Amino acid sequence: MKVTRNDFNSVMHNPNGPEMEVFIDQVKSMSNSLGYIVNSFYELEKVYIDNWNSEKRPKVWCVGPLCLAEPEREPQRKPFWIQWLDQKLAQGCSVLYIAFGSQAEVPSEQLQQIAMGLQESKANFLWVLRKKESESILDEGFEEKVKGRGIVVKQWVDQRQILKHQSIEGFLSHCGWNSALESICYGVPILAWPMIAEQALNARMVVEEIKVGLRVESTCNGMKPGFVKWDGLMKMVKELMEGEMGKQVRKRVKEVAELAKMAMADSDGSSWQTLDSLINELCNKKQEVRL
């Protein structure tokens, strides 16, 4: 996978400060450990895993996707957004889910461009916003303009419950790894919009390697996170939900979702076998090891 300098954020403001010391200690600890336990599955990254584990360096054990390991709990009462999705399903409508995680701060100017792009796309959508963020667009009557085909949720939601809903046919996402993996596991194609941390690398993998998603169009070159204008967003939303490329990634993500389920199959799944191998290796290890 090819990467550019733009894929990496500058996180060390002072190369001689305490942040760098902590970072160096982490790298040393990881390098001296027996290996890394990873929330992914072998079938998704087998080329990288095989190459990595063939070298003399800390091994990688893929024991995921963990979102499929946790038992799903049905709420005693359906929240209003699930009731809304049920209505869309009954109407035969596909819905785009939009969420950007809990860390990145989206500027109000960008939020307004998103609102306009969604409004002009004519797509059905469920947009999860923090209350503070919602104030910049809701005061302008956005909800009234998209009434009947779009809702804005200003509180915590169970993302897995949304992604597994049969009406959801796309996920406009920041490409945090947990969100990307959940979307893949539930067979939902991704419209990737990385913002911070390792999200640009995740976006490259989702779009270029696994081919289960498309990219938003930003004003920056390459894959560097940048400002997205409403017309560029509208174009890619339409492509994901209605276009030929959208059909291709939708087919592909369904195939990968099946591989994820197979990986978590009891006893014979690759992740279960990897976990057994890890336990056996730890039990047989004579010297002290650190994970």
pLDDT digits (tens, 9 = 90+) for 37-51: 999 999 999 988 998
Q: What is the pLDDT of residue 219?
A: 66
Quote the CA–CA distance of 32 and 39 in Å, as a whole number: 20
Q: What is the pLDDT of residue 11?
A: 61
User: Roughly what angle, to the nearest 10 degrees, separates helices 270-284 and 244-263?
Assistant: 40
Q: What is the pLDDT of residue 141?
A: 83
Quote the CA–CA distance of 127 and 154 in Å, as a whole number: 9
Q: What is the pLDDT of residue 149?
A: 96
Q: Which residues of the chain have pLDDT under 70?
A: 9-13, 136, 138-139, 219-225, 286-291
Q: Could you tell me the CA-to-CA distances from 35 to 178, 234, 278 in Å, in that order? A: 21, 43, 10
Q: What is the pLDDT of residue 3?
A: 74
- CATH 3.40.50.2000 range(s) for the chain read 88-260
What DSSP character marks residue 7?
G
Quote the CA–CA distance of 229 and 112 in Å, as a whole number: 9
CATH of domain 88-260: 3.40.50.2000
Q: Could you tell me the CA-to-CA distances from 115 to 1, 71, 120, 135 in Å, in that order? A: 33, 35, 9, 12
Q: What is the pLDDT of residue 104?
A: 78
Furthest-apart CA atoms within the chain: distance in Å: 67
Q: Could you tell me the CA-to-CA distances from 188 to 7, 179, 191, 249 in Å, in that order? A: 24, 11, 10, 9
